[in-house]
Amino acid sequence: MRPSISVHTTEGPIQIDVSPDFRQQFLQFSSGEIPRNVLITHLHNDHIAGLGDFGDLCFWHHAPARIFSPEEMITGLQQKFAHLTPKRGIEMVATRELQLAEWQITFHQVQHGANGYSYAIRFTGRESTWTYMPDAFQVTDEQFKPLQHSDLLILGAAYWKEQAEPHRRSIYDVEEALAIKQRFGIRHMVLTHLSHDIDIPRYAERLPDGVMFAFDGLVIQLEALLKP
């Protein structure tokens, strides 16, 4: 499925991106609790096309929600989904930093190769930090600075070894992702946004310790993952 994740917190779930598969993902994998807070990384359809279904879910269940993203992303969302307004139970909030439950959350602009840029989202808690960066390529050292030494990085990697020329690409491959883990001191890495090239049973055994492929319905227990 297209990548979305749900972060379970002490104050309910936080939804990151709302993919075209959101309805199926919600029905199949969620507890049934409607997220009241949504974070958007960027405006490509594979990350926001489920917002129509999400808006209907909130409206018909009288469950108002807030959507957070940097200002230009919120402007784009308001243009694409003009019907998602406070009257329909949806409030859109432009920000690059916020506190939700136990997490301090910050948005960081990163290169998305031929597709421009997107935002990585960093979660900082009392005992751990982790980063969600599903769509990125050719991220500069300066952009990586606030993201390095994450306990967990969820990173998009479409192919094991991408064959396209760099100027045509928009996402890392697995070999590049592994180099990023080593270079920037990432303790654990989950690779998402996988393409048809990644046969998980075939390639999983080639991954080093501390790295795994995402799959539909994956649950990550952060405390258990980060135990010494």
Q: How many Cα atoms are found within 13 Å in the side-chain-facing hemisphere of 24?
A: 9
Single pTM value for the model: 0.96
Tell whether the model's pLDDT for residue 1 goes beyond 60: no
Cα–Cα distances (Å) from 182 to 3, 103, 128, in that order, read 24, 26, 19
Residue 49 has pLDDT above 60, yes or no: yes
Q: Are 162 and 169 in contact (CB under 8 A)?
A: yes
Q: What pLDDT was estimated at residue 14?
A: 97
pLDDT band at residue 223 under the 50/70/90 scheme = confident
Superfamily of domain 102-228: Ribonuclease Z/Hydroxyacylglutathione hydrolase-like (3.60.15.10)
Structure confidence at residue 15 (pLDDT):
97
- The answer to whether 109 and 69 are in contact (CB under 8 A) is no
Angle, to 10 degrees, between the axis of helix 51-60 and the axis of helix 22-29?
A: 50
pLDDT recorded at residue 224: 83
Q: What is the mean pLDDT of the chain?
A: 95
pLDDT tens track for 73-102: 999 999 999 999 999 999 999 999 999 999
Task: Output DSSP code: residue 31.
Answer: -
DSSP state of 149: T
Question: Which tens digits make up the pLDDT trace of 185-210?
Answer: 999 999 999 999 999 999 999 999 99
Q: What is the pLDDT at residue 65?
A: 98
pLDDT(228) > 80:
no
Using a pLDDT cut of 70, give the percent of the chain over it: 99
pLDDT of 227 reads 76
How far apart CA 209 and CA 214 sit, in angstroms, is 15
State the pairing for strand pair 152-156/97-100.
unpaired
C-alpha 91: how far from chain center? 20
pLDDT classification of 225: cutoffs 50, 70, 90: confident
Q: pLDDT per residue over 92-140, tens digit each?
A: 999 999 999 999 999 999 999 999 999 999 999 998 999 999 999 999 9
Q: What is the C-alpha to C-alpha distance for residues 132 and 121, in angstroms, rounded to an integer?
A: 5
CB contact set of 110 (below 8 Å; sequence gap of 6+): 117, 118, 119, 120, 133, 136, 139, 143
**Domain 1-97 in CATH: superfamily?**
Ribonuclease Z/Hydroxyacylglutathione hydrolase-like (3.60.15.10)
Burial of 36 (0-12, 13-18, 19+ CB in 10 A): middle
Where along the chain do the CATH 3.60.15.10 domains lie? 1-97, 102-228
Question: Is the pLDDT assigned to residue 51 strictly greater than 80?
Answer: yes
Q: Tell me which residue has tokens 């297209």.
A: 2
- DSSP codes, 172-200: B-HHHHHHHHHHTT-SEEEEES--TT--H
